[in-house]
Amino acid sequence: MIEGSGPPGAPDRIVAGTSPVSVLNPYYAGGSLASEIVGDLIVTGTLSKSAGAFRIDDPLDPDNKYLSHSFVESPDMKNVYDGVAVLDDKGEAKVVLPKWFQALNQDFRYQLSCIGGSAPVYISQEIRNNRFRIAGGYAGLKVSWQVTGIRHDAFANKHRIQVEEPKPQGKRSIQPSSVVAPSRSTVKDSHNGSEK
């Protein structure tokens, strides 16, 4: 469902729980919203965008401020995992990852940082059977760890992102320096393609 169109440049408002629609608006009108989606959104496919962020009510002043963060992005389909391990009497720790970890990820990278002390900690065993080992410390030392992996599930293998590609001849800029906003967005019903 699309709630009523406002004046030129005003966003369409899509309300969850109604008929699926797609909003087609190639213009970005002076920093205004093209559309607002109220509710959850599932995209089956690749979502391409020029920028991304979350925006919530500021936890310290929710009535008067927003809090925004930008996304962490990569040219790879990269996942990030982290945690804190406490070393045992041998100065070691075993980190157990979810059982689906290696089915989803490959090409692992590791980062270790000691907390409250220092030691030459290192990865003594790389990820195998969804777990890895840390060594080189002393009993009770806390070690913050981060592991990244690149997706290699069936969907990711079939839909790799092309990091750089030529534009088709005559293709206009994604971020034109000046645009003219249309009087309203073109909205098509996803069931039959008819305009609303």
- Give residue 163's pLDDT: 92
Identify the pLDDT of residue 47: 86
Q: E strand or H helix at 24, and its extent?
A: strand 21-24
Mean residue pLDDT of the chain comes to 82
Task: Give the pLDDT score at 31.
Answer: 55
Identify the pLDDT of residue 24. Answer: 52
Where exactly are the structural domains of the chain? Answer: 1-73, 78-153
CA 6 to chain centre: 31
> What DSSP string describes 85-116?
EE--TTS-EEEEPPTTHHHHEEEEEEEEEEES
Stronger pLDDT, 157 or 37, i.e. the higher one: 157
pLDDT of residue 16: 53
Residues of the chain above pLDDT 90, percent: 55
pLDDT value at 96 more than 90: yes
pLDDT band at 119 (very low <50, low <70, confident <90, very high): very high
d(CA 176, CA 46): 23
Please indicate whether residue 10 or residue 42 has the higher confidence score (pLDDT): 42
Residue 23 has pLDDT above 70, yes or no: no
Highest mean pLDDT among 67-76, 77-86, 172-181: 77-86
Long-range contacts (CB closer than 8 Å, 24 or more residues apart) made by 128-133: 129/102, 130/96, 130/97, 130/98, 130/99, 130/101, 130/102, 131/94, 131/95, 131/96, 131/97, 132/94, 132/95, 132/97, 133/92, 133/93, 133/94, 133/95
Q: Which CATH architecture has domain 78-153?
A: Sandwich (2.60)
- What would the mean pLDDT of 98-119 be, rounded to a whole number? 98
Short-list 149, 156, 154, CA closest to 127: 149
pLDDT of residue 45: 87
Asked if the model's pLDDT at residue 33 lies above 90, the reply is no
The predicted-structure confidence for 149-193, as pLDDT tens digits, reads as follows 999 999 999 999 899 989 888 877 777 665 555 555 444 444 455
Higher pLDDT, 139 or 183: 139
- The average pLDDT across 53-80 equals 94
113 in Cβ contact with 120 (< 8 Å): no
**Complete DSSP assignment for 126-155:** EEETTEEEEESS-TT-EEEEEEEEEE-SHH
- Report pLDDT for 28: 47
